[in-house]
Chain A
């Protein structure tokens, strides 16, 4: 659902033109929007807006809403940053804008 670019990493875009750099930017934005939507969902939605509803479910010794607001959201945040880094590095390579070694 995010960018279809990095699914085919072997396929390199040869030249850096205004068009490809625009495609690169659009793919970057799509990735960012998807990840930010998850960011918003795990913190503001699960941790604040529907926390009372989620509290009726249990997750180990936690009420689920309490877990999201005190621990779960933070674990998701870490995951999101690493997914972003991984996908962006692939995008950089695919569009030939990576910085090399």
Chain B
């Protein structure tokens, strides 16, 4: 007997949510130390898994393989950029921040630079970066709910928020950590199972990461060569060719790496382990857990691209499979029959003008949704949103219903785990850095804990609003989070550890330079003058996505100049630096 995919999705999502709530009840926090850093008692392997779930968001789980599927080789900037940062974390930041043994990133900035002004700049950055990031997660939650559970996006967001509220507000970091461990297991299982199915179907190799380098079933040709052939035949650029300039690839990858190492919700995870040497190894475990997904992503991308080309190109619309019409109904797929032959032609170039579909009322003769877009000059008739690849490929490959349900539960785990980590960072920045350390130093620990829970509740409310009324620029502002983290926190923390000469004046000047430059560049090209957002107008051909690297370089230069003309930090701070450089 077949149970429908929708029913199975309800069962899988329901089971995983009950698990998260159970863990939350079991691991309530009773002190600020437990709420902020899980008491510092988390085993390095558990912290590695929690870091991986914290880190891998809706973007990694839902979007990344889709981007690689359509961009091919250039998608490597995300693969390298979002993993290489862990080397920087392990070698340059995590062990020293663990020795410092405080609760937050602004804590470090405030004490290392003996300045409340520096702390406040850091708090503003933390809150801005984290909210930016959280709104992206909410879109992921809404997407999964609306497509698989066929509920309204708003209902989906509210259910998701309620779950996060439950374990983030009750459990704090302790609840979040152990829930994230469970969420990691759910999400990695959900990612690998369909990938293994597809790898077996296409290459007979049960390991997707090796399947990518294997020959096709029943043929002598390698899978990647086959895909290069298919794509060029259809007038698309070959899968393994890069269509981005070298300088832009370089700058974007660097911004993502330094941004990863500077993101507050990642750094704070290393405050939760017992020892300095645990912080080092924990970054290694985190990267192993992350790489299970990241090494599989390019395989999923290539498999999905092959399957899409094979199943869609040349298909008559009236015979379209269910997934095709469902995603069309969701508005994430569109077909414009340019030559009126009733057959879907999938070719290179954008099918529509403007690129994103604008649906009119009603349906055309064959039942496809009416479009208000103009046709482009090329032969391509198909628009596919990149974000649907991971969710759609089990259906495209006609995998069993339980696999489809599993992917939905995995996508939710990825989005919710990241959202919880970010919300905690926001609430900590408010209760600890703004209240306890700045405006209300006399509050007791109980009061501080109450404020932390309140701040988490308010933050969840705001994040929920972002999900229900998504600002039209969600995708655009993700560049902000990484660019700003790279241009502000990364240099300030790095120099704070490795240079004893680095002082308050240099830190503030450097952070502000990096922030203002990066912020202005992104705002100019994304919002003020989006029409000129192309390589001709970019500085040195660097896109807004990669500009954080230049902001970071400016930050370093300004810091070096300012520290050479201002007095060194006080002796107490120099002793602090000596102290964090050794584990004992």
B582 near A70 with CB under 8 A, answer no
Contact with B along A13-28 (1 / 0, CB 8 A): 0000000010011001
Q: Is B459 interfacial (CB 8 A cutoff)?
A: no
B90 near A85 with CB under 8 A, answer yes
From A38, which residue of chain B is reached at the shortest CB distance? B87
Interface majority SS (helix, strand, loop, mixed), chain A: helix
A44 near B254 with CB under 8 A, answer yes
Contact with A along B523-564 (1 / 0, CB 8 A): 000000000000000000000000000000000000000000
Q: Is A92 interfacial (CB 8 A cutoff)?
A: yes
B223 near A61 with CB under 8 A, answer yes
Quote the shortest CB–CB distance from A5 to chain B (angstroms): 14
Known: A77-B84, A89-B277. A48 touches B91 (CB 8 A): no
A99 near B84 with CB under 8 A, answer no
B84 near A39 with CB under 8 A, answer yes
Contact with B along A33-55 (1 / 0, CB 8 A): 00110010001100111011001
Classify chain B's interface size.
35 or more
A61 near B214 with CB under 8 A, answer yes
Known: A78-B288, A98-B584. A73 touches B91 (CB 8 A): no
Quote the shortest CB–CB distance from A30 to chain B (angstroms): 12
Question: Contacting A70 at CB < 8 Å: which of B86, B90, B257, B298?
Answer: B298
With the chains together, A100 CA to B274 CA distance in Å?
12
B91 near A32 with CB under 8 A, answer yes
Known: A43-B84, A77-B83. A99 touches B276 (CB 8 A): yes
Neighbouring A residues of B309 by C-beta, 8 Å = none
With the chains together, A52 CA to B242 CA distance in Å?
9
B92 near A61 with CB under 8 A, answer no
With the chains together, A35 CA to B80 CA distance in Å?
16
A69 near B76 with CB under 8 A, answer yes
Interface majority SS (helix, strand, loop, mixed), chain B: helix
A99 near B291 with CB under 8 A, answer no
Neighbouring B residues of A52 by C-beta, 8 Å = 242
From B584, which residue of chain A is reached at the shortest CB distance? A97
A77 near B277 with CB under 8 A, answer no
Quote the shortest CB–CB distance from B203 to chain A (angstroms): 9
Quote the shortest CB–CB distance from B374 to chain A (angstroms): 36
A74 near B79 with CB under 8 A, answer yes
With the chains together, A70 CA to B208 CA distance in Å?
13
Q: Is B284 interfacial (CB 8 A cutoff)?
A: yes
Neighbouring B residues of A80 by C-beta, 8 Å = 87, 91
Question: Contacting B284 at CB < 8 Å: which of A28, A35, A85, A97?
Answer: A85
A88 near B280 with CB under 8 A, answer yes
With the chains together, A48 CA to B471 CA distance in Å?
34
Contact with B along A70-84 (1 / 0, CB 8 A): 110111011011101
Q: Is B385 interfacial (CB 8 A cutoff)?
A: no
B212 near A97 with CB under 8 A, answer no
A36 near B91 with CB under 8 A, answer yes
Classify chain A's interface size.
35 or more
Q: Is A59 interfacial (CB 8 A cutoff)?
A: yes
B213 near A67 with CB under 8 A, answer yes
Interface centre among B84, B291, B298, B578 (most CB of A within 10 A): B84
With the chains together, A52 CA to B246 CA distance in Å?
10
B287 near A78 with CB under 8 A, answer yes
Known: A32-B92, A43-B80, A77-B287. A98 touches B242 (CB 8 A): no
With the chains together, A67 CA to B80 CA distance in Å?
11
Question: Contacting A69 at CB < 8 Å: which of B80, B225, B287?
Answer: B80
Neighbouring B residues of A21 by C-beta, 8 Å = 578, 581-582
Neighbouring B residues of A32 by C-beta, 8 Å = 91-92
With the chains together, A35 CA to B288 CA distance in Å?
18
A81 near B90 with CB under 8 A, answer yes
B90 near A84 with CB under 8 A, answer yes
Quote the shortest CB–CB distance from A31 to chain B (angstroms): 8
Question: Contacting A24 at CB < 8 Å: which of B75, B222, B254, B582?
Answer: B582
A35 near B91 with CB under 8 A, answer yes
Q: Is A57 interfacial (CB 8 A cutoff)?
A: no
Quote the shortest CB–CB distance from A34 to chain B (angstroms): 10
Quote the shortest CB–CB distance from A32 to chain B (angstroms): 5
Neighbouring A residues of B79 by C-beta, 8 Å = 69-71, 73-74
Neighbouring A residues of B281 by C-beta, 8 Å = 82, 85
Quote the shortest CB–CB distance from B300 to chain A (angstroms): 12
Neighbouring B residues of A85 by C-beta, 8 Å = 90, 277, 280-281, 284
Q: Is B295 interfacial (CB 8 A cutoff)?
A: yes
With the chains together, A82 CA to B286 CA distance in Å?
11
A63 near B224 with CB under 8 A, answer yes
A48 near B253 with CB under 8 A, answer yes
With the chains together, A17 CA to B83 CA distance in Å?
38
Quote the shortest CB–CB distance from A36 to chain B (angstroms): 7
In the assembled complex, 19 residue pairs joining A and B whose CB atoms fall closer than 8 Å, in A order, are: A21-B582, A25-B582, A39-B87, A43-B80, A43-B84, A44-B253, A47-B76, A48-B250, A51-B242, A61-B224, A62-B224, A70-B79, A77-B84, A77-B87, A80-B91, A81-B86, A85-B90, A89-B280, A100-B584
Q: Given A48-B249, A97-B583, A100-B584, 4 more contacts at CB 8 Å?
A: A61-B213, A81-B283, A82-B284, A88-B280
The 6 closest A-B pairs by CB, nearest first: A61-B222, A69-B76, A61-B213, A81-B284, A60-B213, A70-B298
